[in-house]
């Protein structure tokens, strides 16, 4: 199981996109044009837009001109076209063929260049040290077992003074029953690779994907352990029943220090 779960998730996401998954629908031409004219927003979590000031000091005169930006597990033709319209030098890495095909389609439609790479983010990322100014990392860590290597790799490939913007899931999402989100049925951590019955249940109830809960110690503590300075955070909700009671998602802004002690 452990050797195959990322490929299982890749194929599961491909199938969701075929069925109209909201995070696999590319933006329309009008949204790309509006972004170039200064009317834009992007999300790391389901609903709240990322504050524009989170892109400082790289955003100047409303643009990200020349900024080297990596969309990490950020395929789908939703965020990267916005950044391209703002003048960023974009690279996108994802493990879903269909998500990357959407990136290719939008870039060809709008006539901008973007580096498109298929890769598994549980492995060493295929980039040189200090290659990027910004890493934009929407919710996706729930599809991998160990998040610590991801934070370490992000730290390695960011330039000093660079920023990591991450969308994350509160682990309480994995306490409850898929059909009844107010009923607690699972223990944490939620790790199907260590429980055969949970593995089968996860495949059955999450539309073919293998997902994992991650604690605040892993998500925020992991960024701090990697060397980042956390300097902003917000919470978010979705449209599901449990979100009526508590925020289920959060986003973080972390910076790689200019110098180290």
In the chain, % of residues over pLDDT 70: 97
Q: What is the mean pLDDT of residues 3-14?
A: 89
Residue 34 lies inside a defined structural domain of this protein: yes
Residue 116 lies inside a defined structural domain of this protein: yes
User: Does residue 118 surpass a pLDDT of 60?
Assistant: yes
User: Does residue 7 surpass a pLDDT of 90?
Assistant: yes
Residue 167 lies inside a defined structural domain of this protein: yes
Q: What is the DSSP letter of 35?
A: H
Residue 26 lies inside a defined structural domain of this protein: yes
Residue 183 lies inside a defined structural domain of this protein: no
Residue 180 lies inside a defined structural domain of this protein: no
User: Does residue 3 surpass a pLDDT of 50?
Assistant: no
pLDDT, one tens digit per residue, over 59-109 is 999 999 999 999 999 999 999 999 999 999 999 999 999 999 999 999 999
Helices (H), 78-162: 80-85, 97-110, 148-157
Residue 141 lies inside a defined structural domain of this protein: yes
pLDDT of residue 1: 43
pLDDT, one tens digit per residue, over 123-158 is 999 999 999 999 999 999 999 999 999 999 999 999
What is the total count of domains within the chain? 1
pLDDT category of residue 2 using cuts at 50, 70 and 90? very low
Domain of residue 246 covers 5-171+213-255
In the numeric block, which tokens belong to residue 62?
Answer: 């409303």
Distance separating alpha carbons of residues 238 and 246, to the nearest angstrom? 10
pLDDT category of residue 208 using cuts at 50, 70 and 90? confident
Residue 33 lies inside a defined structural domain of this protein: yes
pLDDT category of residue 180 using cuts at 50, 70 and 90? confident
CATH number, position 241: 3.40.50.150
Q: What is the mean pLDDT of the chain?
A: 94
pTM of the model: 0.96
User: Does residue 202 surpass a pLDDT of 90?
Assistant: no
**158-169 β-sheet, strand order:** 115-118, 89-94, 68-72, 132-137, 158-169, 249-255, 229-236
């Amino acid at each position: 199981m452990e050797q195959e779960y990322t490929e299982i998730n890749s194929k599961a996401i491909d199938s969701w996109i075929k069925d109209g998954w909201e995070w696999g629908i590319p933006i329309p031409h009008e949204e790309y044009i509006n972004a170039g004219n200064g009317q834009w927003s992007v999300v790391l979590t389901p609903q709240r837009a990322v504050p524009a000031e989170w892109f400082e000091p790289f955003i100047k005169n409303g643009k990200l001109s020349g900024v080297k930006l990596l969309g990490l597990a950020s395929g789908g033709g939703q965020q990267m076209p916005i950044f391209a319209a703002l003048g960023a030098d974009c690279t996108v890495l994802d493990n879903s063929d269909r998500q990357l095909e959407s990136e290719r389609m939008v870039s060809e439609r709008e006539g901008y260049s973007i580096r498109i790479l298929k890769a598994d983010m549980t492995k060493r990322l295929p980039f040189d040290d200090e290659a990027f100014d910004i890493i934009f990392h929407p919710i996706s860590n729930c599809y991998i077992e160990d998040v610590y290597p991801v934070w370490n790799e992000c730290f390695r490939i960011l330039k000093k003074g660079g920023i990591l913007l991450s969308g994350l899931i509160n682990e309480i999402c994995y306490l409850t029953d898929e059909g009844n989100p107010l009923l607690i049925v699972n223990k944490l951590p939620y790790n199907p690779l260590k429980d055969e019955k949970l593995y089968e249940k996860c495949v059955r109830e999450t539309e073919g994907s293998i997902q994992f809960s991650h604690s605040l110690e892993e998500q925020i503590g992991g960024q701090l352990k990697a060397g980042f300075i956390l300097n902003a955070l917000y919470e978010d909700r979705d449209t599901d029943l449990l979100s009526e009671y508590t925020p289920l998602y959060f986003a973080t802004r972390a910076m790689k220090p200019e110098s180290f002690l």
